[in-house]
Amino acid sequence: MTPVIFVLVILGLVVGTVAGFALKAPLLPDLITEHGRIIDQQLVLTLYITGAIFAIAQLGLAYLIYKHRHRDGVKASYLQGSTKLEYTWTVATLVLFVGLNLMGQGVWAQMHLNEKPARPVNIEVTAMQFKWIFRYPGKDGNLGARAAEYINPAEGNYVGKDPDDANGDDDFQLLSMSVPYGIPVVVDIRSIDVLHGFAVREMRLKQDAVPGLSVNIPFTVEKDGTLEFPLSGNYAADLDKGELPDALKHELNANKLVWKDKASLRALEPGRVWRLTLDPDSINRPYLVKLENGRLNLYRSWYELACMELCGYGHYQMRSQVNVLSPVEYAEFVEKNSP
């Protein structure tokens, strides 16, 4: 009886686990960066390999449990081992594990070891309890110097921007991050108090922010947005006029997209792509409406940025967001915000 239960439980475990992973749709959150694709490939490859190992090992265990359950009159074999087998599985696992690992080093090198891209968009990320501050270099492309002595909470200068450095004159800082797609970006991640962790799920990016250290990570966002849901009506004509039809509003509401103040709308490519920004004055959540294959789809262009290293009681609410803009929009964004 017991061996049968055991077999059934293990069977349930294997089926349940495999189903849990297989049925999870989507398996991973949306993906928007270039390096993220390689990470995902590596992750999924590992998932297949280890999934097979998992199933074989657990089912093997169940099989042996059943096959060799106690039966009267049966004597166990006096088998003490097999050197040949030991060598075989040692070498096999070594090759498998190390090989798998080496396959992943390319993307690691791309993110950490290779030379940083030439003329990227530089963004300084400053983490503090419990918020993120993003500083942009303005039109000149250069960030002003910073030093702790200039930190001045009264003026909102947590970054410690040197007021006398001319490079900093057109710098501007915001509480959320906007990046262009298709252009390499380098973030300079730092902290002014305790450890924090910069992480955006959809970017497959994670890096601790360490006080006293500044870590540069390059990435390129390769998508302008990720599909949220298809829209049922065709509002193209209204959208081109810059009007948000009530039907669309209802449809968004029905999908739990509610906004507090207002929405702004403009055509990025008239007749084809429109930028819909919800709550432009407070949280600023950019979406895209695209006409594809004769129907409209709603795309999301903003992603949540989370703190991933314990930083105090407010850790769980240390939230910001990354907005993905078109290169043109990004240029306007810099223009608009530069003092």
Partner 1 sequence: MSSEAAAEHAVHVHQAPTNPIWRYVFSTDHKVIGIQYWILALVSAFVGMGLSVWFRLHLLNQGHVAQLTDQLSLLVEGSADYNAIKAKIDALQTAWYHMEPSQYLGILTMHGTILVFMVLTTAPMGGFGNYFLPIQVGALDMAFPRLNMLSFWLTFLSFVTLMAAFFVPGGSPNAGWTGYPPLSAVPDSQGNGYQGPGGWGQDLWVLSIAIFCFASLVGAINFIVTTLDLRTKGMTLMRMPLTCWAWFVTAILALLSFAVLLVAGLLLLLDRNLGTSFYVPGDLFVSNKLLVDHKGGSPLLFQHLFWFFGHPEVYIAIVPGMGLASHLLSSFARKPVFGYRAMVYAIFGIGVLGFFVWGHHMFQSGMSPYVAVAFSVMTMVVGVPSAIKTFNWLGTIWGGNIRFQSPMLYALGFVSLFVTGGIGGIFLGQNAVDIYFHDTYFVVGHFHMIMGVAAIFGMFAGTVYWFPKVTGKMMNEPLSQAHFWCTFLGVNVIFIVMHLMGLEGHPRRYSGFAFEFLSSDYMVRMHTIVTHTAIFTASAQVLFLINLVYSLAAGKKAGDNPWESTSLEWATTSPPPFENFKDGVLPEVHHGPYEYSVPDAAKDYIMQHDPPEARPATAPAPH
Peptide bond into 130 cis (omega under 30): yes
State the nearest-atom distance from the C-beta of 205 to partner 1, in Å: 7
Q: Is the dihedral of CA 93, 95, 98, 102 positive or negative?
A: negative
Residue with smaller CB distance to partner 1, 147 or 166 = 147
Q: What is the DSSP letter of 143?
A: P
Question: Which structure tokens are listed for 104?
Answer: 């992943």
Name residues contacting partner 1, limited to 18-57 (CB under 8 A): 20-21, 24, 27-29, 38-39, 42-43, 46-47, 49-50, 53-54, 57
228 binds partner 1 (CB under 8 A): no
Q: x/- contact string, 53-82, with partner 1 (CB under 8 A)?
A: xx--xx-xx--xx--xxxx--xxxxxxxxx
3-class DSSP assignment, residue 317: helix
Residue with smaller CB distance to partner 1, 185 or 311 = 311
Name residues contacting partner 1, limited to 261-300 (CB under 8 A): none
3-class DSSP assignment, residue 258: coil
> Tokens 């006293």 sit at which residue?
212
Name residues contacting partner 1, limited to 98-117 (CB under 8 A): 98, 100-102, 104-105, 107-108, 111-113
> Tokens 């599909």 sit at which residue?
227
State the nearest-atom distance from the C-beta of 291 to partner 1, in Å: 27
DSSP string, 224-293: S-EEEEE-SS--HHHHHHT---HHHHHHHHHTT---SS-EEEEEEETTTEEEEEESTTTT-EEEEEEEET
Contact 288, 187 (CB under 8 A): no
Question: Which structure tokens are listed for 171?
Answer: 């710098």
State the nearest-atom distance from the C-beta of 136 to partner 1, in Å: 21
State the nearest-atom distance from the C-beta of 332 to partner 1, in Å: 26
Buried b (16+ CB within 10 A) or exposed e, 60-88: eebeeeeeeeeeeeeeeeeeeeeeeeeee
Residue with smaller CB distance to partner 1, 90 or 234 = 90
State the nearest-atom distance from the C-beta of 16 to partner 1, in Å: 7
Residue with smaller CB distance to partner 1, 136 or 219 = 219
85 binds partner 1 (CB under 8 A): yes
Q: Which of 135, 161, 204, 290 binds partner 1 (CB under 8 A)?
A: 204
Instruction: Select the span of 5-13, 230-238, 264-272, 323-331 touching partner 1 (CB under 8 A).
Output: 5-13
Distance of CA 186 to the CA centre of its chain: 16
Instruction: Select the span of 133-141, 169-177, 243-251, 301-309 touching partner 1 (CB under 8 A).
Output: 301-309
Instruction: Select the span of 186-194, 243-251, 262-270, 327-335 touching partner 1 (CB under 8 A).
Output: 186-194
Residue with smaller CB distance to partner 1, 172 or 259 = 259
Question: Which structure tokens are listed for 199?
Answer: 């992480």
CA angle 127, 132, 136 (to 5 degrees): 100
